[in-house]
Structure 1
């Protein structure tokens, strides 16, 4: 069963996304603005009464998502875009244009390692707008699911926060993208399973111990997938057994004989514990009943 699960996981992580070439040469700060004006906008809580100017700037700020300065990349570009989307201050046309600018950035060359994770984080906000007020059609929504699966499976830069550089946090941002899609009732069981298995692909990457809260971020979409009541307790127990398997170790006791084994144990235990705590706190008894038996079983197997 574990071998079958890994083959399916590999297939999930190789889904094509059909992205167009990334837009190049984007200026940051965008044309018509400078650092001082953007800082003033942030100080004003991103209030911009001119609708046309706000929508132009929203598209321009996509070019700042790879900027090495965290004050521009995270503190202004991401915060402005998130704020405007959560206030429903961007038109559907602008949201579509922003999506089309961001999707290619998920796979574009990214030597500094900032652009891809911040494109994923803003796409999570785009996905949230469709959850709150549907504006995507089924094919466009499926496109985002494919993007989220492909991005999360493909993360290999595991840097979280670096002093002087700020956040990259690719796995956490990919998990947030999956979360916003998993919360959307328009997704079907197959789409949710692909998101679930993309999460599984990053629970315990070989040789890397998570220290920046990634395990909790990965657990969040899983608990909301479970809330959809599309998979029974037996299905969840089988999935959890596969995710929490000691392989390539022969058993969990062998983890104590190598650094690589301890890293895997650390990551698997962090994920399962985070998911257990989230499941235990669910107000929906059916969700608890779907997840907790499998979680208790895998926790008992880990020394």
Structure 2
């Protein structure tokens, strides 16, 4: 990762890029789609470092664009490729983080429901960079945990994939952020507790049947949270007991009860399999008894 300071010209470009209206760089008369298709074809290589940094800032405005190719395959994939390839400067990452946190917190226009799901997914990539080469402060990590957990808890848009519109997938993308935070050794127990509560709130909604792999994404975050020393066997027993008490109650079948049953199974079964297949003896000891008991209560 580069740590050099921005040139005055690049600072001006970044300032202009983040202060304009939403999708300012994604209008039909803009060349960003054509340019990014060419860059993707070249395996995301942009030799001019100044251009790459400025383009990354511009792409953040495309994360809510209704065009699925521009939004997903070009904007997000481009940002992800550059972050994973250590091609973005810390100053660029900082601008991206601040913009994305604002998108997730403020009442920004998001008519089609794409911006926040892709903002949270991009935030997961920013956290991944920090795990591999730390650049965030303790407070900045706490802020990300709080914003991400609040977004996941409040999320009511369960749309996944549409053949015309592409992906939204807010639950799964939020779970990906929780996964990256769980893997980050700089995240501490109070934040793990916040994350755990947020995940629990969306494991088994009664208003929607998950069908796009959401349970597997949520359980993966739990799998890695259980690898941290923050929670012991009793903690996990209590967490699973509370989860089942809230979401698996006896009574006549209703659509709500069936949805919860379906969603619990889609979470618990892959988690049980993953823990059983793990070679981590401590993880098995922490989780397997609680998962077995939870599975017995699915009704």
Give the TM-score, by structure 1 length: 0.88
* Corresponding residue of 1:74: 72
- Please point out which of 259, 269, 275 is paired with 1:263: 259
- 1:236 maps to 236
Deviation, 1:263, is 0.8
CA distance in 2, matches of 1:172, 1:44: 29
Aligned 8 A contact 1:65 1:115 in 2 = yes
The residue that corresponds to 1:14 in the other structure is: none
Aligned-residue offset at 1:155: 1.0
Question: What CA deviation, in whole Å up to 9, does each residue of 1:145-165 have, x standing for no partner?
Answer: 111111111111000001100
Paired residue for 1:116? 116
- RMSD of aligned residue pairs (Cα, Å): 1.8
1:54 to 52, 55, 65: 52
> How many residues end up aligned between the 2 structures?
279
- In structure 1, the partner of 2:34 is 36
Shift of 1:36: 1.9
**What is the distance in 2 between the residues matched to 1:24 and 1:181?**
30
Deviations 1:125-176 (A, max 9, x none): 0011000111111111111111111111111100000110000000001111
Give CA-to-partner distance per residue, 1:257-279, whole Å, 9 cap, x none.
Answer: 21211111111121111211222
1:1-303 alignment, distance < 5 Å: 24-29=21-26, 33-107=31-105, 108-245=108-245, 247=247, 250-251=249-250, 254=251, 257-303=253-299
CA distance in 1, matches of 2:62, 2:292: 44
8 Å Cα contact 2:206-2:257 kept in structure 1: no
For structure 2, the 5+ residue unaligned runs are 1-17
State the match for 1:17 in structure 2.
Answer: none
| Cα distance in 1 for residues equivalent to 2:229 and 2:273 | 19
Per chain length, whose mean CA-contact separation is higher, i.e. which structure has more relative contact order (CA < 8 Å, sep 6+)?
Answer: 1
| TM-score w.r.t. length of structure 2 | 0.89
Contact 1:22–1:105 at 8 Å: present in 2 too? no
Q: What's the offset of the Cα at 1:23?
A: 6.1
